[in-house]
Amino acid sequence: MSKVKAAVFASGTGSNFQALLETDNLQCEIALLVCDNPHAAVIDKASAYKIPVFAFNPKSFSSKAAFEERIVERLQKAGISWIFLAGYMRLVGPTLLEAFNNKMINIHPSLLPEFPGKDAIGQAYHSGVRKTGVTIHYVDEGMDTGPIIAQESIEVLNEDTERSLKEKIQQVEHQLYPKVINQLLQQSEGLI
């Protein structure tokens, strides 16, 4: 039986993308990287793993619907069944949401609903909270508002810096995302 094909959407360095690629028992094939920043470091990581890339500049399109239609075409052509957002810094619109209803998840570096959006780690660190973490959730039309699938908390220690907190969060992300993805894929295949 062939593996389910998935696409990862990313905009930056791609640490979660790389972690997924390096997961030995991932129950899907990462068959495409979608990137809204043609100069992002994640593209080099995809090339190193021979993963096809669809990189685009949103400003080259007349509307969000126009670039999302192009993305959906590429996803369908590649036989993609699932989308995993991993540092994709753009709200997903109705065109993509309708095409991949309940087949699109995101990882976010906070315990949602606290600290949605950009710089969640910095927001948490500077707010003085004693606990933050990682959330994996289904994607909806809002900013990190979709139904939560899993969360894991991290204690913020007095000696933590923003950088050390980011490193702790990334360690959890790199373990939790593949685990949750595998569970979702098994559930969708009726295996558990």
**What is the Cβ-side half-sphere exposure of residue 42, based on CA atoms within 13 angstroms?**
30
| Numbered residues of the known binding site | 14-16, 64, 89-92, 106
pTM value > 0.85: yes
Q: Are 61 and 67 in contact (CB under 8 A)?
A: yes
pLDDT digits (tens, 9 = 90+) for 39-94: 999 999 999 999 999 999 999 999 999 999 999 999 999 999 999 999 999 999 99
CATH architecture of 4-188: 3-Layer(aba) Sandwich (3.40)
Could you please report the per-residue DSSP string of 84-125?
EESS--S---HHHHHHTTT-EEEEESS-TTSS-STTHHHHHH
| Numbered residues of the known binding site for (6R)-10-formyltetrahydrofolate | 64, 89-92, 106
pLDDT of residue 192: 47
Q: pLDDT band at 189, cuts 50/70/90?
A: confident
Tell me the catalytic residues. 108
pLDDT digits (tens, 9 = 90+) for 81-128: 999 999 999 999 999 999 999 999 999 999 999 999 999 999 999 999
Mean of all residue pLDDT scores within the chain: 95
Give the domain ranges of the chain: 4-188
Task: Return d(Cα 47, Cα 31) in angstroms, integer.
Answer: 12
Q: pLDDT band at 37, cuts 50/70/90?
A: very high
